[in-house]
Amino acid sequence: MSITGSLVIFMILWWLILFLILPRNISSQEETGNVIKGTDPGAPANSNIKKKLILTTIITTIVFAIIYCLAYFDILNIRRIMS
């Protein structure tokens, strides 16, 4: 796997996992009872975005390492599977 291919796969995995993690543990301003004037009541009260970005990076690194090892040791070979 080339460096460019590795970076592309890592970034696609990172965004995919980010969108899976973003909706977790969200409570709206209306649910917490602390609606800020001028904002949507359904807006998150505390999104914990920094924690979610770190968790996304950790999970992506683990998943990417598994995929890389499968490709490196020729266990997962898409060209062989397709032919």
**Average pLDDT of the segment spanning 25-32:** 87
Model pTM?
0.81
Residue boundaries of the structural domains of the chain: 3-82
pLDDT in the model for residue 49: 94
pLDDT in the model for residue 79: 78
* 75 Cβ contact list (under 8 Å, min separation 6): 69
Q: What angle do CA 68, 69, 70 make, to 5 degrees?
A: 90
pLDDT at residue 1 above 80?
no
pLDDT in the model for residue 4: 96
Q: Structure tokens of 45?
A: 């009260």
pLDDT in the model for residue 68: 93
For residue 2, the tally of other CB atoms under 10 A from its CB is: 7
